[in-house]
Structure 1
Amino acid sequence: MKLSTKGRYGVRAMFELALHYPKAPIPLKDIAMNQDISEKYLEQIFSALRKMGLVKSIRGMQGGYELVSSPQDITVGQILRVLEGDLAPVDCILDESVGKCDRYDSCVTKYIWKRIGESINDIVDSISLQDLVDDYRLKEQDYAH
């Protein structure tokens, strides 16, 4: 499985919001500059994140984006699923794919793909934005010494 730039940039942008949580909304141009991501591309990413209820936009002079929930309540898995879709390594293990493959019932490798998919989901669902912020701040302290 390979993540697209949409998923990778989305996690970085959400990290930026988490880093400043619960301060004032962060303008998209600031997120773009701090994370070295195109502002136009971020507009697409934040549109999807907003539709799924992970961020909200605030209009006006002091506007921008902010997290809807605390960073500890938003996982990397939630972000990636919004931007990438299901994280299964192969389509045949998705529920809606049952019956589409002629070999589904007798496939000897299906078990491997299911285990890989479960492992991926377990990992990304166990990492919150707060975990990323805590790790970042710990590394900042290490560099300061």
Structure 2
Amino acid sequence: MKLSTKGRYGLRALIDLALYSENEAVSIQSIADRQSISYSYLEQLVGKLRKAGLVSSVRGAQGGYMLAKPAEEISVGDVLRALEGNLEAVTCPGNQENSSCEGADLCVTRYVWQRINDSIKDAVDTIMLDQLVEESRKIRDKGQVSAQICEN
């Protein structure tokens, strides 16, 4: 499974938003500048995150975006699913409800695909945004290069 820039950039943007929107709304331009992400691309990503109920917009002169719910209630899985869709590495018809796969009962590899998919789900659904924000602060406090700007 390989995530696209939608998932990678969107997660970086949401961490940035969580870091900087504690007291006031944050503009897309400020996130784009800090993260070196195209404004127009980021605007599309924020639209998807808003539609998914992860961010909310604030109108007016001091407007911008904020998290729609506390960071400890937003998982990496929530963000990635909002931007990437299904996160399954392998879609196996034998593992679906009302399976139409005739060989599902005899298929050994079905077990492998389910274990891989379950592992991915477990990993992304147990890492919460507040944990990433805390890690980002630790790195920032150590005076290291910004944790937000990276190649991923």
Regarding TM over 0.5, the answer is yes
Mapped partners of 1:130, 1:80: distance in 2: 16
Cα distance in structure 2, aligned partners of 1:16 and 1:123: 21
Take 2:141 and 2:8, find their aligned partners in 1: how far apart are those partners? 25
Aligned to 1:28: 28
Q: Deviation string for 1:14-73 (max 9, x for gaps)?
A: 001111242111000001111111111111111111111110111221111110111111
Q: How does 1:46-61 map to 2 (within 5 A)?
A: 46-61=46-61
Q: Give percent identity, aligned residues only.
A: 48
What pairs with 1:1-145 in structure 2 (closer than 5 Å)?
Answer: 1-92=1-92, 95=96, 98-99=99-100, 101=101, 103-143=103-143
Higher helix share: 1
**One-letter code of the match for 2:44?**
Q
CA separation in 2, counterparts of 1:96 and 1:49?
28
1:91–1:97 CA contact under 8 A, matched in 2: no
Identify unmatched segments of 5+ residues in structure 2: 145-152
CA contact (8 A) 2:18 2:67 kept: yes
Displacement after TM superposition at 1:107 (Å): 2.2
Q: For residues 102 and 43 of structure 1, what CA distance do their matches in structure 2 show? A: 45
Query: In the aligned structure 2, how far is the partner of 1:55 from the partner of 1:116?
Result: 30
Counting matched residue pairs gives: 143
Q: TM-score, normalised by structure 1?
A: 0.90
TM superposition outliers: structure 1 runs of 4+ over 4 Å: none
CA RMSD of aligned residues (A): 1.8
Q: TM-score, normalised by structure 2?
A: 0.86
